[in-house]
Amino acid sequence: MSSFFIKKKVISAAHNKGDLKRKSNADDGKGRSKKFNKRADEEISSDSEDERADPSRRKQDDEDYEIDETPQDKKLRLAKLYLEQLREEEDKKAEEETFEADLIAGRLQEDLLEQKGKLQRLIAKDLIAPDPEEIRLLRGHKLSVTCLVITPDEKYIFSASKDCSIIKWEVESGKKVHKMAGGRKGTEDRHVGHTAHVLSMAISSDGKYLASGDMNKLVMIWEPVTCKHLYKFTGHRGAVSGLAFRRGTHTLYSASHDRSIKVWSVDENAYVETLFGHQDMITGLDCLSRERCVTTGGRDRTVRVWKIAEESQLVFHGHEGSIDCVQLINEEHMVTGGDDGAISIWTVNKKKPVSTVKKAHGSHGNGGLEQPNWVSSVAALHNSDTVASGASGSHNSAVQLWKCGQGFRGLEPLFSIPVTGFVNSLKFSNSGKFLVAGVGQEHRLGRWWRVKEAKNGLYIIPLKRQAKEQEVVQ
């Protein structure tokens, strides 16, 4: 086999180096053949000498030997390459499956902690106060803004007012996208909107339905994308002061000054049931994914957790005055505020607050006439350690951010944003990138006094962070 390869190379060399000799011997006949063979023999000797003189030439020939292989050798080599590729692909697939399994396990663990009300993302320590010029004011309402919601995709904000209108805003540009006009009683033939102060709003977690409630005992259902009016719910005997969709469903809860809570199926445009228990008008309502909701009873000074399926309720006491606002932090904890100036954190396992900050927004007056500034709104960044509160009136009105201690024990102030007027509504975006405050010259539930210098509108407050990483504790 080796002699075959050598002979092949010799003939090739003879052809390359004997071209000049062929021309001079073209007419020699048999002599040309003899001379050619002689030259070939000389070339063998010459190549051997060149290899000894030039190692690179020898290396090139060795490579030629390596390239030449039998069909069996080639099949074996290709088979080995194929097996190696399969092994690499399997290793890569195993790594990806392990990574996906870790992600799924982490997500399932978070979902489990969330359902148990034990998920607490520690992001408050990274929040820093925004620069004043970064805060935007959106104006369009003629009277005080009373409530607001942010769409799940965080692209739009809906705000409602005592002027009976609802405005859809684009977050990025701050432009007014649409206005669902309202008017005084008797103007129903000119519009399909509210004919009384709008006090409450809610949007479903999939963004399909928007609900609004007014002083005229009505709940109206809208399509958020087109702002088209769909239908209205009647049945309350007092102003509708609180609305909330159960997360992941189109079940709507409404709270009223008539001291009742009603349950509605928005998909079916149907009333479901009514819940009773509060001894005074209900001033706030919230719910998450469980089949239950929480309410504040105003002057009856109670917070109540309503277990819808069990047809039972839990009653909590702790504030010294009217409890005007409530929001769930997670499935087990909630934050409330009232006209006693206090902010309280609660857990469903205790009938008293876990932690309370009295005079959370300071006080006004002198000597024995000193009064705490009202807490008119609260908000919570769900499943985190961050909450916000808004104060009312001309005395030290502001939006204050707070850090909840581990296990929601204790509240530590982070930073305050001065705002003139009544902070009637507060909402965090789902991602926690910004906070929106609805501000007016009057309190959303009454006209006890008026702050003339206040601007009726929305303040969009960016929430900047020092670090991107989030910690999760249980």
CATH of the domain at 130: 2.130.10.10
Shared-domain flag, residues 349 and 437: yes
Q: Is residue 117 part of a domain?
A: no
DSSP secondary structure letters along 182-208: --STT-GGG-SS-SS-EEEEEE-TTS-
Task: Say if residue 58 is in the same domain as residue 131.
Answer: no
Contact of 157 with 150, CB cutoff 8 Å: yes
Q: Do 30 and 137 sit in the same domain of this protein?
A: no
Judge whether 100 lies within some domain.
no
Specify whether 179 is located in the same domain as 55: no
Residue 343 lies in a domain: yes
- Best CA proximity match to 377, nearest among 463, 284, 291, 295: 284
Among 21, 39, 67, identify where a domain stops.
67
- What is the largest distance, in Å, between two alpha-carbon atoms of the chain? 138
Let me know: does 251 contact 265? Beta carbons within 8 Å.
yes
Q: Do residues 23 and 159 share a domain?
A: no
- Whole-model pTM: value is 0.75
Q: 9 to each of 13, 19, 22, 32, how far by Cα in Å?
A: 6, 16, 19, 21
At residue 102, the pLDDT reads 67
Low-confidence stretches of the chain (pLDDT beneath 50)? 1-53, 59, 63-65, 469-470
Domain tally for the chain?
A: 2
State the pLDDT at residue 105.
Answer: 64
Q: What range does the domain containing 181 cover?
A: 122-473
* 73 within a domain of the structure (yes/no): no
3-state SS, 307-360, equals: ECCCCEEEEEECCCCCEEEEEECCCCEEEEEECCCCEEEEECCCCCCCEEECCC
**334 occurs within a structural domain:** yes
Structure tokens at 163: 């002027």
**Average pLDDT of every residue of the chain:** 84
Do 17 and 137 sit in the same domain of this protein? no
Cα–Cα distances (Å) from 271 to 184, 214, 372, in that order, read: 27, 18, 41
CA–CA distances in Å: residue 66 to residues 52, 54, 158, 175, 260: 20, 19, 76, 74, 91
Q: Looking at the structure, tell me whether residues 288 and 432 fall in a common domain.
A: yes
**Separation between Cα atoms, residue 18 and residue 13, nearest integer Å:** 8
Whether 138 and 224 share a structural domain: yes
Which of 27, 44, 67 finishes a domain? 67
In a domain, 109, yes or no: no
Same domain, 440 and 372: yes
**CA angle 425-427-432, nearest 5°?**
160
Other Cβ atoms less than 10 A from the Cβ of 203: the count is 22
* Residue where a domain stops, chosen among 42, 67, 92: 67
pLDDT at residue 446 in the model: 84
Q: Which of 351, 334, 295, 459 is nearest to 343 (CA)?
A: 334
In a domain, 90, yes or no: no
User: Is residue 20 domain-shared with residue 156, that is, in the same domain?
Assistant: no
**Per-residue CA distances from 431 to 24, 303, 338, 384, 469 (Å):** 90, 28, 27, 11, 13
Nearest partner of 117 among 455, 425, 345, 395, judged by Cα: 345
With respect to residue 114, please indicate whether it lies within any of the assigned structural domains: no
Q: Both ends of the chain: CA-CA distance in Å?
A: 75
Domain check: are 141 and 220 in the same one? yes
My answer on whether 174 and 300 are in the same domain is yes
